[in-house]
Structure formats: structure tokens, C-alpha cells
Structure 1
Amino acid sequence: MPRCHWRVAARSAIVDPMEITPSPPPVCLADFAALARTVLPPPVWDYVDGGSGTEVTLGHNRAALDRVGVLPRMLTGVATPSLRTRLLGREYAMPVGVAPMAYQRLVHPDGEPALAAAAGAAGVPYLASILGSTPIEQVTATGAEVWFQLYWLRERALVVDLLARVRDAGCRALVVTVDVPVLGRRRRDLRNAFRLPPELVAANLPGGRDDLAHGGTPGVTQVTVDSGAAFAPALSWADLRWLGEHCDLPLIVKGLLDPVDAVRAAEAGAQAVVVSNHGGRQLDGAPASVTMLPEVVAAVGDRCEVLLDSGIRGGVDVLRALALGAAGVLVGRPMLWALASGGQAGAGTALALLADELRDALALAGCADPAAARQLRTVPMG
């Protein structure tokens, strides 16, 4: 895939294509990070790449995955593994979804529709953020299987209206993110006084209500100011139960680490939970997501499906998650890197690489499919 160079629009963090020059094609998701860093303005790179606090949890997500060893099985007679899997009762091409991420037009002018279209072509679900920079109706129009991610709005009537809009748009599931009572202190964004360019709005908020995110104050990230104004900080289990009773879409609860919380989510009506520390962007000092995955899987049993995010960077990581009991994973930052460096084509290449890596990992582990991978043993590395 060619390397892309972008120029920054005047007074904007949105980037436009300028010229294309040949370079070696990416061979793994990490290659897209190097490409993205060359094309994104530094404040946007920091917004995408950074974590909260001293970024301890951000670093541990990757380190913890690297400590998971998978014990391969031999002579299983597997030639070409199948990647196909079922999530929430629907069949997908592999046990992977594109994680919800805000304001994707920050990294590429085609934004959410481009990434959704790439996910649709790859046969995996695309999780659309409530803070998307493109209306949900345009995202579902790509034909992708779209799950909608919700932060709880301060007014319940607005939640009801948004649920109707999401359902009418054709979304297949509702993902409630519960680990953001307040936005984590992201020091890179604070130092940059990060703000959105005027061209971007949160297109799924009622009336695009994110005016505060466009200001600029030294030592303040305006996205934090805006999120505090739009979202309710005191979401409770009663609210989640109400949502389970009033939403006719499959309900997924994202942002859980404690097995007790995962069980409560299942009891409140969740068909799936996502073990996640928000990619190290919320509580700095929280454990790596993969560290808590086995306990959550054991606690919920067959009450609901369990997904994992935070730190997934390749097919072996997907294999690790499956071996620890996950039904699948969500991939976040690498998809933004790929979108930034190559638009829809870049995102499609990243998902194809991930599929190739997972297929190789399953074959080397002696697994015919993702279900077989869940029977593997894991051992500590290092």
C-alpha cells in the first residue's frame, strides 16, 4: 500500500490528501502507527495515542498481553482454519469488531463511513460512537453491521429519542460505555489545550451539542469540558436495568473490569460485556484488561458473552483472548492509524492483515476455528 502524505487545512486538524509516494506496504498493524504519526498534526496524534495520568495502564495493556503464552496443540489435522464466529447470535467473518472511537474525521476527511465500509467489507461489526463526526444514518448507509455506542445523556428523554434514532437507522446492538463518569486526565491533551476544529461536531448528539469542545484554554482540554456538560456522571445500575427494559436491541456493557460488575450487568439484561479499561484512557492504575478477562469469564459463565479490548495489536493477541475465554475482541487505535494513513483502503488492509495473522495463529496452535481456540491452555511468559 502506498504511503500517504497529508497537508493540514488552515486552522483545522482535519487533513486532506496531497500526494502519494511509494513506500514498503505495511505488514502488521504497528506499521500503520508509524505512517499515521507522519501525517497527523502532533496534537491529534497525542489525542489518539495518549492515555491518562502517567500512562501506566496504557503501557500495561500491551505488556500484559505479551505475558500470555498460548500452548499449541499438535497433530490436530487442521489445514486451513476458519475464522468465522458468532457474536450476539449473528455470524461474522472473524471474532473481531472495530471499537467505538470519537471524531474519526479528525484523522481522515472520510471519517466514520470509510472505517465502517472497511469493516463491512471485512465482515466484522463496526461500533459507532455517540461522539462520531458523521450522523449515524450515514454510517449505517454503508451497509456495515453497526453497533451503536452510548454515553448516558443528562436528560433521559434525550436518551429515549436517541435510541429511537439508532433503531430506525438499522443498528444491530447498543453498547453502553460505563467507565466514563468523568473523562480521565489525559496530560498530553491538557498540555496541548486540545480542541476540535470548527468543522467537526458530534453529529449524533441532539442538535450536535458540543460547542464547548471547540474552545481553547491553556491547561484545559475542551473535549473534557464538553463531555462534562453533555453526559450524566452518575449512571447507576437502576439506569442500566431501565435501559435493558426499554431497548429492543441486544445490550452490551463496555468498560467493566471487576467480575462482580460483569455479573450484575448480565443480571441487568446485558447479552455481552466488554472487559476494558478504555485503552488506558480512564483510571490510570487500573489493571490491564486481559489480566481480568479470565476472572470475568469464570464469573459470568453462560449468562452472557465476554469481549475484550485495550491493547489488541495483532492476530496472536486475538488468539490469546480466545484462549482466555473471550468470544471476541475489539480493536481501536490500530484502526485509526490505518484510517489516517490510507482512508478506507488503509483500514481494509489493516483488517485483512489481522485476518491473515489470526488464520496463521490458529493454524500454528492446531485450531480449526475460534471455538477450538477457547479450549487451549495458557501459560505465563517471562
Structure 2
Amino acid sequence: MSIGPGVGRTIQSRIYRAGVFGHRPGVPVEPSELEAAARRAMSKQAWAYVAGGAGQQRTVAANTAAFARHRIVPRMFVDVTTRSLETTLLGRTIPAPLLLAPIGVLEMAHPDAEYAVARAARSLGIPMVISTQGSVPMEDTARTLGESPRLYQLYWSSDETVVRSFVERAEAIGSDAIVVTLDTHLLGWRTRDLDLGYLPFARAEGIAQYLSDPAFRELAATRPASTEATPRPTVAAVRALLSMARHHARWTGGSFRESLRSPLPRASVETFLDVFSRSDLTWADLARLREMTSLPILVKGVQHPDDARLAIEHGVDGLVVSNHGGRQIDNAIASLDALPGVVAEVAGRVPVLFDSGVRSGADVAVAVALGADAVLLGRPWVYGLALAGEAGVRSVLENVVAELDLTMGLAGVGSVKGLTRDLLA
């Protein structure tokens, strides 16, 4: 289906009509039920990676709790027979102020990973932000998206040849923008992952962009052989080596048997761990990225108004207010609490996007009313992916859009432009 006028009632009626025949939604509509169902369906490692945050999970909790502090005050006797969710972002008209946030290692949720997500995004026309930590090369994801809009999220590697190669590939697949993540130059203290001793990248999961990249492969091929003594093998170590070989073979075009005998799979993982990120970057480095591409550049991870000002001074074309879903710093400011100050500083000069803590269409309405031009949805669609693949992602997106549409109608708002600050208590 497409996102058109009356989408909320269409989806609502479809569910109720199916209920007459005893059919309930296969993917729960209620956010907490969706999360609980996904937890039952996912492995411990996958659940910890997707749902977990930093430290004591206080920022994750703060992100969702912040929405309760902003209450919608509906207006009555407003003709909202015809409602439009359409908006414009980076010169492109999109069907709703909603994008799929970049999330890595989707193979942990479902074997179809980005293929399933891209098919769901394409069916609704909702833009997808492709992750650097994807389980599928960006070219394959782009082919699956067809003409549907896409952006590319960039982790700025410590190897500039890899950065340049990623940017060139992002241009070649028709990306509408480069979204540079600023808040992950170090990996946060993610207690749930640490208690399991599980980092997916160390098993070559979620590094398809790297394994399919010529610059990275050349770098890995020239890595000196390790001189460390090999520990006594364990079952877990054998599984990890098999995972490395399987992923390496898949994305480099070799055979599994060859990869199993080759030192390259392990060298590739070690190279990735060496070059994944860097902590010496400053605002001035954006000029170097600008030399690499003519695409719009957005920065993701802004929480402070002064950083919004610096971003604009250094020529960015947009920014994303985000705390990485609470995954990087424990006890950090809720992303929604940071949004109004950033919006005030930006003052309409560039688009302001928002993520972290969004669980529903009503949350999207609140974020847009506080000044966001569009909202990135994250964990909920991954839960849908874990439960039902492509159909699960599409169900979650449809439900969020349906609730947004009905929330607007019930609040007396006929278009996205009508979602303004005076709608909130």
C-alpha cells in the first residue's frame, strides 16, 4: 500500500476487519508488546545489541520518558477530512516526516537483513539511511531500494582511503546525502554486550561494507601477520572463525573453503577493529569531507546548541539531534530535551532531523511539533524485522504512520506544517 490520504483509518479498518475473522496482527501494534515479542524471538546476543544501551540504561529510559513531558492539546471543530503527511527533505518530497534510522548488524535480527528492510521501505516510499555497519553491501541495498530515496550514514574511519572509497560508493548508489555520525568515535560502555562478551564485528558480522570495499581489502591484505601466540581453541573460537570465513567468502567472492584456509578473514576483522573510528577529528575536518563529495552533508549526534552553531559555521547541510538511542553515554540528556535548543539555534537555516526514543506515531507528532523536520525511527522496525522479516518492518512502519495520521486528525491538524509548538502543553 502507499501512504496516502486517510492512511490511518485504512490501516485501522484493515486490522479490525481481519479481527472479525479471528485474525490478530502477527506483529504487535502496542509498542511494549512489540518489544516483548521481539525479545522472545531474538537470541540473547541480538537482543542485547539492539535493545541495550550504555551503562545502567538511564539514557535509553530518559529518551522515552521525555515524550511524556510534552502533551498534545487537541483543537476541536477543525475540518480535517483531508490530511496530508507529505513533507520535503533535501529537495525531495517524501510521504511522511519519517526515515528508517541507520542500524547495523541487521543479520542478528533476520537473515534477510537489509534486503528485507529495503523492500519494506521501497513499498512505502520511506527513505532508508544505509548503515556503514551493514550486513549487506550498500550496492545490493540500493538495488533492492530501486528508485526509493536513500541516504548513507558514514562512520569516519581512521584510514582516509577507506573513507573516500565509502563516499564514492555512496555517490554511485544515488544517495541523497552523507550522514556523518559524530558520537561513536569511541564505543560506549554497553554493559549488556560486555556481560555476554559479544562484539558482532569481531566475528565479521556487520562489516559487509568493508569486506566489499576495494580500499579496505587492499589494506587488510597488507596487514602484517600476527605474532601473538594462538590460544588453545574453544568451541566459541571455532564458531567465530567459521563466521569470519563465511562472511569473508560471501562478500569478497571467494569460496568458503578457501576463506577457511586463508589468513585474510581474521586479518580483515583485525583491520576493521584497527580502523573503525577515530577520536582526533574536529569541526575543521568537515572541509576535507566536503572536498570528497558534492552531496549534502548532515551530522548526526548533535545535542548542544553550540555544536549546532559550529556545524552550520562549518557548512553542513543539515543535522540530526540524537544520542544514538542511549547507546553511547549513560545518564546523558534525553534527545527530545535537547531538540528545542538546537532548533532555536538553527533557526531554519538547515533541516533538523531527530532520533532516539521514538516508539510511536504520537512520538513523531511531538518531535515534529518541537521543530524536527523529520524523524528517524530505529529499534521498533528492527523488532518487526526480527518477528516477520520484510512484512514485519512494513507493519511497524505502517502502524507508526497510521497513528501519526490519526493523531494529527484528532488534534485538528491537517498537514505536517500544522504540527507546531503551540499544539503542545
TM-score by length of 2: 0.78
- Which of 51, 60, 63 does residue 61 from structure 1 map onto? 63
Query: Deviations along 1:145-172, whole A, 9 cap, x unmatched?
Result: 1110001111222211211111112212
- Which of 227, 230, 236 does residue 276 from structure 2 map onto? 230
* Residues in 2 aligned to 1:45 and 1:39: alpha-carbon distance in whole angstroms: 9
* Residues in 1 aligned to 2:313 and 2:78: alpha-carbon distance in whole angstroms: 38
* Residues in 1 aligned to 2:334 and 2:421: alpha-carbon distance in whole angstroms: 23
Larger of the two Rg values belongs to structure: 2
Give 1:78 deviation, angstroms: 1.4
- Which of 137, 140, 165 does residue 138 from structure 1 map onto? 140
Asked if 1:332 corresponds to 2:400, the answer is no
Distance 1:103 1:316, change over 3 A: same
- Structure 1 equivalent of residue 120 of structure 2: 118
- Structure 2 equivalent of residue 219 of structure 1: none
* Residues in 1 aligned to 2:298 and 2:102: alpha-carbon distance in whole angstroms: 13
Give 1:201 deviation, angstroms: 4.7
- Structure 2 equivalent of residue 147 of structure 1: 151
- Which of 79, 82, 86 does residue 80 from structure 1 map onto? 82
- The answer to whether the 8 Å contact 1:308/1:329 transfers is yes
- The answer to whether the 8 Å contact 1:241/1:268 transfers is yes
Asked if 1:203 corresponds to 2:208, the answer is yes
Give 1:199 deviation, angstroms: 6.7
Residue identity opposite 2:33 in structure 1: D
* Residues in 2 aligned to 1:129 and 1:37: alpha-carbon distance in whole angstroms: 23
* Residues in 2 aligned to 1:116 and 1:250: alpha-carbon distance in whole angstroms: 22
- Structure 2 equivalent of residue 5 of structure 1: none
- Which of 356, 369, 387 does residue 341 from structure 1 map onto? 387
More helix by share: 2
Asked if 1:106 corresponds to 2:152, the answer is no
Query: Deviations along 1:256-284, whole A, 9 cap, x unmatched?
Result: 10011012112222221110110000111
- Structure 2 equivalent of residue 187 of structure 1: 191
Name the stretch that deviates more: 117-126 or 29-38.
Answer: 29-38
- Which of 270, 280, 293 does residue 326 from structure 2 map onto? 280
- Structure 1 equivalent of residue 358 of structure 2: 312
Give 1:97 deviation, angstroms: 0.5
Give 1:352 deviation, angstroms: 0.7
> Residues 210-221 of structure 1: matches in 2 within 5 Å?
none
- The answer to whether the 8 Å contact 2:167/2:292 transfers is no
- Which of 127, 130, 133 does residue 128 from structure 1 map onto? 130
What percentage of residue pairs aligned between the two structures are identical? 39
Provide the alpha-carbon RMSD of the alignment.
2.4
Query: Deviations along 1:294-338, whole A, 9 cap, x unmatched?
Result: 111010112111111000000110110111011011011111100
* Residues in 2 aligned to 1:358 and 1:34: alpha-carbon distance in whole angstroms: 23
- Residue 67 of structure 2: SS of its match in structure 1? helix
Residue identity opposite 1:278 in structure 2: H
More strand by share: 1
Distance 1:40 1:224, change over 3 A: farther
Distance 1:227 1:99, change over 3 A: farther
Name the stretch that deviates more: 369-378 or 304-313.
Answer: 369-378
- The answer to whether the 8 Å contact 2:184/2:277 transfers is no
Name the stretch that deviates more: 30-39 or 268-277.
Answer: 30-39
Name the stretch that deviates more: 152-161 or 294-303.
Answer: 152-161
Asked if 1:175 corresponds to 2:221, the answer is no
* Residues in 2 aligned to 1:186 and 1:264: alpha-carbon distance in whole angstroms: 29
Give 1:193 deviation, angstroms: 0.4
Asked if 1:249 corresponds to 2:251, the answer is no
- The answer to whether the 8 Å contact 1:129/1:149 transfers is yes
5+ residue gaps, structure 2, are 1-22, 227-236, 242-268
- Residue 190 of structure 1: SS of its match in structure 2? helix
- Structure 2 equivalent of residue 32 of structure 1: 34
Residue identity opposite 1:239 in structure 2: D
